[in-house]
Amino acid sequence: MTEPIELSLFDAPPLAEQERMIEAMLFASAAPLTLAALAARMPQGCDPAEALASLRRRYDGRGVNLVRVGDGHAFRTAPDLGAMMQIETVETRKLSRAAIETLAIIAYHQPVTRAEIEEIRGVAVSRGTVDQLLELDWIRFGRRRMTPGRPVTFVVTEAFLDHFGLESARDLPGIKDLRAAGLLDNRPAPGLGAPGDEDDGDGATGQSKLFEE
**Strand 139-144 and strand 112-113: pairing?**
unpaired
Tell how far CA 152 is from the center of its chain: 30
Average pLDDT over residues 8-12: 66
The values of phi and psi at residue 194, to 5°, are: -75, 160
Beta partners for 68? 73
| Per-residue confidence (pLDDT) for residue 166, from 0 to 100 | 81
pTM for the full model? Answer: 0.46
Mean pLDDT score of the chain? 79
**In angstroms, rounded to a whole number, what is the distance separating the alpha carbons of residues 125 and 102?**
8
Instruction: Report whether CATH 1.10.10.10 matches the domain 15-78.
Output: yes
**CATH architecture of the domain covering 97-172:** Orthogonal Bundle (1.10)
- Give CATH 1.10.10.10 domain extents, the chain: 15-78, 97-172
79 confidence band (pLDDT: 50, 70, 90): confident
Q: Which residues pair with 73 in a beta bridge?
A: 33, 68
| pLDDT tier at 92, thresholds 50, 70, 90 | confident
Residue 207 pLDDT more than 60?
no
